[in-house]
Amino acid sequence: MPSFRSLVEGGLAPLGLVTAPARRAGRGRKEIENELVTIAEGAGIPVLRPERADDPEFLSAFAAWQVDLGVVVAYGQILRRELLAIPREGFINLHGSLLPRWRGASPVQAAILAGDMVSGVSIQRVVEALDAGAVLTERSVSLSPTERGDELFERLSCVGAQALIEFLAGL
């Protein structure tokens, strides 16, 4: 969320937001608020919430935005060729590790479990293989031997947001 908020507040607001559909949880099965949607709606940014990133209706709606560059942060789905081909300049991904050290869905936890003394974030090109695109820029942080996953995740979220702003501003 820091990345999206930073883009909006930093004058680099995206043309749209793609995020997961609303989910229900808890004893009352209440719909969980998605802060990204709240931020987007408050800024007048359209939102798409596909169940699957390869849904034909979603692909059509996304293509209508005519974006130059797609930015992925913690989306959680593999992006297929049809989607990757839509933005004129493709997609970039903000990943929570110094690639290629920790690929996949839990790089923060992997770095801590391995006893790494340094971690960071990478901005990479998105390709059809998981976390296999070219690394375009990175930011490193030192880890404390007592650092917990939630603490590192929070730090990397802020470092990543700043790296994303700087990278996009430099384009």
pLDDT interval class at 27 (50, 70, 90)? confident
Q: Does 76 have pLDDT greater than 90?
A: no
pLDDT, tens only, 131-163: 889 999 999 999 999 999 999 999 999 999 999
Stronger pLDDT, 51 or 131, i.e. the higher one = 51
Model pTM?
Answer: 0.91
Instruction: Provide the residue type at 46 as one letter.
Output: P
CB 109 within 8 A of CB 133: no
Q: Which of 22, 68, 82 is nearest to 47 (CA)?
A: 22
What is the CA angle 131-96-154, rounded to 5? 160
3-state helix, strand, coil in the chain (%, to 5): 35, 20, 45
Whether the ω angle into residue 46 lies within 30 degrees of 0, i.e. cis, is: no
**Does residue 88 have a pLDDT over 90?**
yes
Range in 40-44, 76-80, 148-152 with the lowest mean pLDDT: 76-80
Q: What is the pLDDT of residues 99-143, one digit of tens each?
A: 999 988 899 999 999 999 999 999 999 998 888 899 999 999 999
Would you give the distance in Å from CA 95 to the centre of its chain? 7
Helix (H) or strand (E) holding 158: helix 149-169
Which residues lie closer than 8 Å to 57 by C-beta, 6 or more apart? 50
Report d(CA 108, CA 160) in Å as an integer.
13
pLDDT digit string, tens, across residues 14-25 = 999 999 998 877
pLDDT score of 26: 75
